[in-house]
């Protein structure tokens, strides 16, 4: 297991459409997932997508009990989601601030669907289907966007709500500025 380098915005590997995972229960997949959790926890992230460490597969992880980067967010179960499909269950979207480990030091308010169903499989190819709302729905939309080559700044509608974390959220720990 190892903490891997997180690619930053501008790297063309973050703009690719990821390939489906086809082989399960392999040492390679298990090692990749372990590295992703090490990397996410090391960065205090709420989620991480495989393309962020340069692996072009449809694999995201997320979840936390309490997250320093999103102190007001309710807990999200720790999840490995592979080959995901999202379905909005309402047309309604809401704006809220998010950041990204690939876009360090910045935050923006981004519209996301408030209520969605996500389906896919876990690391053992076991089906996952959940209907979620709020921050859980936001995290999943953000992470799955990484599999489509989309970073959150590409979703911003109001650029007056895009700025440096240390300026907009001065009370936040500077070590969690991304
Ligand atoms: Ni991100």
Q: Tell me the per-residue pLDDT of 90-147, one tens digit each, with 9 for 90 and over.
A: 999 999 999 999 999 999 999 999 999 999 999 999 999 999 999 999 999 999 999 9
- Confidence grade of residue 172 (pLDDT, cut at 50, 70, 90): confident
**178 CA distance to ligand 1 middle (Å):** 10
Q: Is the pLDDT of residue 176 over 70?
A: no
- Bridge partners for 118 per DSSP: 86, 130
pTM for the model stands at 0.94
In what order do the strands lie in the sheet containing 93-98? 93-98, 106-113, 162-164
Instruction: Report the pLDDT value the prediction gives residue 103, as an integer from 0 to 100.
Output: 98
Q: Spell out which residues have Cβ within 5 A of ligand 1, the ion.
A: 100
> What CATH architecture is 12-176?
Alpha-Beta Complex (3.90)
**52 CA distance to ligand 1 middle (Å):** 8
> Percent of the chain at pLDDT above 90?
88
State the greatest distance between any 2 C-alpha atoms of the chain, in Å, as a whole number.
46
Written as six digits, the tokens of 102 are 């690939």
- In Å, how far are 33, 107, 149, 160 from 56, measured between CA atoms? 13, 25, 10, 32
Instruction: Report the pLDDT value the prediction gives residue 108, as an integer from 0 to 100.
Output: 98
Hey, which residues are catalytic here?
143
**122 CA distance to ligand 1 middle (Å):** 20
Which residues, in sequence order, are CB contacts of 19 under 8 Å at separation 6+? 56, 57, 58
């Amino acid at each position: 297991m190892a903490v891997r380098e997180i690619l930053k915005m501008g790297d063309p590997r973050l703009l690719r459409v990821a390939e489906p995972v086809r082989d399960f229960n392999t040492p390679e997949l298990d090692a990749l997932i372990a590295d992703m959790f090490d990397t996410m926890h090391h960065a205090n992230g709420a989620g991480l997508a495989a393309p962020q460490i340069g692996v072009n597969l449809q694999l995201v992880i997320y979840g936390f009990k309490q997250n320093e980067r999103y102190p007001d967010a309710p807990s999200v179960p720790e999840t490995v989601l592979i080959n995901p499909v999202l379905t909005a269950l309402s047309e309604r979207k809401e704006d809220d601030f998010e950041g990204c480990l690939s876009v360090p030091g910045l935050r923006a308010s981004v519209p996301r669907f408030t209520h969605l169903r996500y389906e896919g499989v876990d690391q053992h190819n076991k089906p996952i289907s959940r209907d979620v709302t709020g921050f859980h729905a936001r995290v999943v939309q953000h992470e799955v966007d990484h599999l489509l080559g989309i970073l959150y700044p590409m979703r911003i509608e109001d650029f007056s709500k895009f700025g440096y974390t240390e300026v907009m959220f001065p009370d936040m720990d500077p070590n969690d500025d991304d």
